[in-house]
Amino acid sequence: MAIDPISSGSVRRRSRTATDRFIWWLVFAGRLALGAIFVYAAYTKLRSPWMLFGMTVDSYQMLPEWGVELVARALPWVELLLGAMLILGLWARWAAAGATALLVGFVCAIVRAYTMNLQINCGCFGTNEPITRFTILRDFGFLAASLVLTVLAFLTRRRARARRAA
């Protein structure tokens, strides 16, 4: 049985390689963008005393006093660490998954506050941003991008392992 050189796989390999490169660039750009967002969010919180951010966290009425202090002190540093890991590509799959988990928590808290009609500041990028429909849509957009990044980062790793094993 003769093998047709057009359908033998050489064309598929080239297109798969092009697809792999496209996905790699998409993951790379997503890591940089999401990492920059997290670093900027951390910067806006870290440049002022933690107590100001603590008042914003407390206004959500979700945590006891000790939890508010823990979140207000730790969250900016977690955001900074995740952002730096995403930008540098260190444990990118897990950093993207962590960013997704944080964004799920943020979106849930913001939607809860909005539906309860709490007239509070978001706290996403500092302390002077009220929760609006735009805030919710923006954070859902960040969450969607983070989910796509996480899935692509894991799939890219899996495909690379499969190619090495073949």
Q: Note the pTM of the prediction, 2 decimals.
A: 0.84
Which residue's structure tokens are 């009425």?
61
Which residue's structure tokens are 């440049």?
47
Rounded average pLDDT over 89-116: 95
Answer for the pair 153, 110: CB distance below 8 angstroms, yes or no: no
- Whole-number pLDDT of residue 127: 67
Q: Tell me the helix, strand and coil percentages in the chain, rounded to 5.
A: 75, 0, 20
Rounded average pLDDT over 88-99: 94
Mean pLDDT taken over the chain: 87
- Whole-number pLDDT of residue 11: 45
SS (H, E, C) 21-89: HHHHHHHHHHHHHHHHHHHHHHHHHHCCCHHHHHHHHHHCCCCCHHHHHHHHHHHHHHHHHHHHHHHHC
Rounded average pLDDT over 94-105: 96
- Whole-number pLDDT of residue 120: 93
